[in-house]
Amino acid sequence: MTMQRSGMHTPTAARLAVLGSPIAHSLSPRLHRAAYGVLGLAWSYEAADVTGAVLPGYISGLGQEWLGLSLTMPLKHDIRALLDSRDELSVLTGATNTVRFSFANGERRIDGFNTDVGGIVRALGDSGIHRVAQAAILGGGATAASAVVAAAQLGAEHVTVLARTPERAESLRPIAAAAGIAITILPLTLASIELTQAELVLSTLPGDAAPLELIGQSTLPSRSALLDVAYHPWPSRLALLWQEAEKPTISGLSMLVHQALLQIRVFVAGDPALPLDDEANVLAAMFAALESTNEADLP
């Protein structure tokens, strides 16, 4: 569906939240509140424990003071049936992590966006990685879909997906085709061979679930940079391999901040491509909000 942003109104006061289950340890409230403080917005942002089964009822019960939501998995897929429109990246990846509400004539409209792709691209850009020819992705789930599209946006001609269950990663083939990038799907047991060819490795594996096949491999990494979407514990076992080899190593916290910044653009202006006023200071405040993060704050 085509996004309709004409006449977009940004309220001076609004409620927002991140939804998921479990969600208590989410860092999103810290990031969003820091940004709203710099922007001078009297907006509240909370975390709410919501499962897919109750998501429709939860949203239908929200009043007009609600401006939008951030969504974690599996809600990124569950939300689709409730949307009035999806942006191009939501359609391409099949995952929506941001929704913005608007009201007209008493009717609620729900527009969906994917800011995970942009979060990956911007996090890599912060480390000086703006183009790659070949990329490898560890894992075959929803975040891997965003990683495939991010690799395509970086100019990669080919991506290799390494998954514990390759059959489950087959859903990535049409996504890669639509994004204009060739894809090979292989078992994770071949990672120690395949990763020596990649310029960029994107690990979408949860937590510290680094494949044992990689640990202790003296040939890794050979020439690649690593973005590990996980950030607890940090450095992860994978990240340690890259750090010991003095190769670029990027924590998932950077992706988290950048996708949140794009969410705030959506909430403010209805478009993730429109920069915020004083955006440099907003971004600095969001990173500063994470500097006080300690182990007790993380899941």
Rounded to whole angstroms, the Cα distance separating 130 from 124 reads 7
Is residue 247 annotated as part of the catalytic site, yes or no? no
| Tokens coding 89 | 């990246």
Catalytic residue among 15, 76, 122, 258: 76
Annotate 137-170 with DSSP letters as a single string: EE--SHHHHHHHHHHHHTT-SEEEEEESSGGGGG
Task: Strand 107-113: give its sheet, edge to edge.
Answer: 42-49, 13-20, 66-71, 98-104, 107-113, 85-86
**Residues 266, 272, 278, 284: is their CA dihedral positive or negative?**
positive
Rounded to whole angstroms, the Cα distance separating 71 from 79 reads 9
- The Cα angle at residue 260 between residues 256 and 266, in degrees rounded to 5: 155
Residues in the chain, overall count: 299
| H or E element in which residue 103 lies | strand 98-104
CB 48 within 8 A of CB 23: yes
> Active-site residues: which are they?
76
